[in-house]
A and B are shown apart, each in its own frame.
Chain A
């Protein structure tokens, strides 16, 4: 069982609210849910849509054909109707437009209507609405929607215990698990989510979130604070990361620990702020003048975001080094569900000299050589292998393409190697490539930056490449088609 539903409308009409209600209900019913968000850079108006895909089995991608469309405006139908399956359903806002009261809560009504179509018991809808809003108006709006439809599906409650979260939430949880003291950031999509969520944690946790005048100040203040023994992370997207370059190099010279969260958007310059790409691997690996050690880690799902953020803090404190966590819009803002629990939390200790306890100058730290960092990283999962372990067909990828690849190779004769540590890099990658007959590189960028890195480190050129660079993530059917074409 697998359903793919599009919810569309103008920004500000509450599309995310509908997906949140439906996702939460489905997760509680034991279904795996994947929620993709597609929106341009504007606050009200335009055309936004979410695609909710769910299944009784693991799922981490969406398809191009829809089983249903929920529309908050006419444009949604106009744009997406061509992709509706033959037996697909439409829930149209027009049905509820007649009276003033309903117009205010159209999104809640539509959420109620969709719940009924899926055949989920009304009590779960009411529970969720109460949890999110807890007022009479929204409850009766959701009921009105529910009563307006007949059920088309009959989703039974399953026994799976599932959590759903975005990559953003995973990074925040990882930082909290690591005992973060200060987060410095300047607003920049798609990294801003972490700033907002950590700022909100100030109500319940002892940490500071501060927004300085620019990313130059962000990175320098991060180093100043870390110098005093605080556990610090800074966050940004590509343009802000470029501004930080000078300070990252200064980190290399001063050896003050620093964790940087880099969430990519697509395109150079200002680029396409609300869309995705994996085009910033090169700057993550190389930003900053001079030569100095760094760790670059790219988680591929929210649970890995929790674990790898924790490892990034651990490694930067242990080696007084720079740790970069590389994500993108697709991972940061999509929601993924899982039944896996994160690994045990690594305790972060501050072992260096700090001012206030003694006189310490920032250019006189003792430190380990880079070789020692690599050895320590080998304690963690630097790569992961999925699919058929004995297969001679090997797919190599990193970051946010992970879940769609897992969905695409289900039932196929493929092995999938996910690279999590891009610097330092695992020796096992070379061995895996040598064992395979057919190697395919998959990246959400134009030039195949991981491919180049692998060639630099191993001397092996991966000829088969599936690269997508239209600012959108891979969808399942198109990726599967491309993979089978090469095979």
Chain B
């Protein structure tokens, strides 16, 4: 009931395709943030950085402070916000092309720095806003206007990569499971350190082949066991529709955060 007054919406017209799973991600985020705000964190103390791609439009639909940045640069902007004012809760919204292609170096180093920020990647395995070219997580054989012979390259596995890079909270979610996603997202925001969630989602226009993976998904909850985390990460390679896909928390551990290293050096 106390959530009633919290207004996270804006008056901007939403321009995602009708039925896009981005609406579900937006709903999950709103639900999570309502809980976060109800738990005592002020709305004005939440800031976001967004990339460029369909996902980035969330910037206009969330009544939060933030920077609508450049394609691929969500993480350095988010890091800057955190170092500039560590009191802010910092969320990064990015896409799969955004994070794993243009911004890959930032993704790897974010795990190393372990600043207390949360990265939410909308992963539809396609560059949809530029009409469907292959991204680093597209399945092999994916035919696009840019890859008419079918995508040759093997997809990378961002979960494995995040684990290897030292991310202290690593999770995968299903955009269509709003309840589960918002639960995981809440834990990610509350986690002190770099949290990463890869949200598997449908695109209703491009890469239809990888839509509706729901039936393959099963829930996991693994914490502080790197060996098991790696095993779970290995289960699905982003390439196949025949393999079961684990969703939930792959790994969570504690490590000192970057901004605390500079705690006494922050003037304001």
Contact = CB atoms under 8 A, between A and B. Distances in A.
Interface string A203-227: 0001110101110111011111111
A356 interface: yes
A227 B83 contact: no
Interface string A307-318: 000000000000
Interface stretch (B58-66, B137-145, B147-155, B236-244): B58-66
Interface stretch (A65-73, A112-120, A246-254, A273-281): A246-254
Contacts of A355: 44-45, 47, 65-66, 81, 85, 88
B80 A220 contact: yes
A454 interface: no
**6 A-B pairs with least C-beta separation:** A224-B80, A228-B84, A225-B84, A355-B65, A221-B80, A220-B76
B9 interface: no
Interface stretch (B67-75, B197-205, B207-215, B220-228): B67-75
Nearest to B66: A361
Contacts of A362: 66-69
A368 interface: no
Given A224-B82, A227-B84, 17 more contacts: A182-B83, A207-B267, A208-B262, A210-B83, A212-B79, A217-B106, A220-B76, A221-B76, A223-B80, A224-B77, A226-B80, A227-B80, A246-B70, A355-B44, A355-B81, A356-B88, A363-B68
Interface string B245-268: 000000000000000001011111
A206 B63 contact: no
Contacts of A372: none
Given A212-B76, A221-B76, A356 B87 contact: yes
Contact of B73 (A181, A247, A360): A247
A214 B81 CA distance: 17
B159 interface: no
Interface residues of B, number: 38
Interface of B: 43-45, 47, 49, 59, 63-70, 73, 75-85, 87-88, 105-106, 108-109, 262, 264-268
Interface size class of A (residues with CB under 8 A): 35 or more
A222 B43 CA distance: 24
A359 interface: yes
A357 interface: yes
Contacts of A95: none
Chain A CB count within 10 A is highest, among B66, B88, B108, for B66
A100 interface: no
Interface in A226-274: 226-230, 232, 246-247, 250, 254, 256
Contacts of A218: 76
A139 B54 CA distance: 69
